[in-house]
Amino acid sequence: MNDDSKALRQSLFEGGQDIRDRTFAFACRVVRFCEKVYSGGGVGRIMVSQLVDSATSSATMLEEARAAESKRDFISKSSVALKESRESWTRLRVYEACRIGPETEARDLVREGNELVAIITAIIRNTRRNAAKNNGNGPAKNRNRAKREYEFQIPNS
């Protein structure tokens, strides 16, 4: 990977843009999948609107989280995105298991949905952990530890 590619990749991660782009792309893929399912009729057609709603909501909530007014607001909006992502993932698993719609697309969307759930879960967990550290609400063992009067330094560093 050259320096330009590294810089571009790093800029994608700044401010969480990568996960927002990824959930947006996922929502678009779900919409296209649902168009195919809808045209096929049957019970799949009935379930389409719920899947479109949840997939697009997760992307929307992560965009709203970007403009959150506080860490608490960010966590709240991200938690809604997580719930919507879980709903999308579960609905896609039903499509896959019942063989409704293009099987390969359903399988790929299930895999991507699972990864998004894992990523958003980690974002929320890490944000909560960092907020707790910054507010002095970390684990009890850290709060009760006496402050050191010195810092360990590596020689010749």
For residues 8 and 21, give the distance between their C-alpha atoms in angstroms, rounded to a whole number.
14
96 domain residue, yes or no: yes
Which of 2-6, 45-49, 90-94 has the weakest average pLDDT? 2-6
Domain containing 39 — which CATH number? 1.20.1440.60
User: What pLDDT score does 3 carry?
Assistant: 56
The residue with tokens 């809808």 is: 38
For residues 137 and 149, give the distance between their C-alpha atoms in angstroms, rounded to a whole number.
22
- CB contact at 8 A, 57 and 96: no
How many structural domains compose the chain? Answer: 1
For residues 139 and 124, give the distance between their C-alpha atoms in angstroms, rounded to a whole number.
17
- Report the candidate in 77, 71, 60 with the shortest Cα–Cα distance to residue 20: 60
Q: DSSP per residue over 39-88, as a string?
A: HH-HHHHHHHHHHHHHHHHHHHHHHHHHT-SSHHHHHHHHHHHHHHHHHH
Average pLDDT over the chain reads 84
What whole-number percentage of the chain has pLDDT above 90? 70
| Mean pLDDT value of segment 107-136 | 91
1 domain residue, yes or no: no
123 domain residue, yes or no: yes
Whether residue 10 has pLDDT greater than 80? no
101 domain residue, yes or no: yes
Whether residue 26 has pLDDT greater than 50? yes
36 domain residue, yes or no: yes
3 domain residue, yes or no: no
For residues 148 and 122, give the distance between their C-alpha atoms in angstroms, rounded to a whole number.
31
For residues 81 and 86, give the distance between their C-alpha atoms in angstroms, rounded to a whole number.
9
Neighbours of 43 (CB within 10 A): 10
Q: Which domain holds residue 52?
A: 14-133
138 domain residue, yes or no: no
127 domain residue, yes or no: yes
End-to-end CA distance of the chain: 29
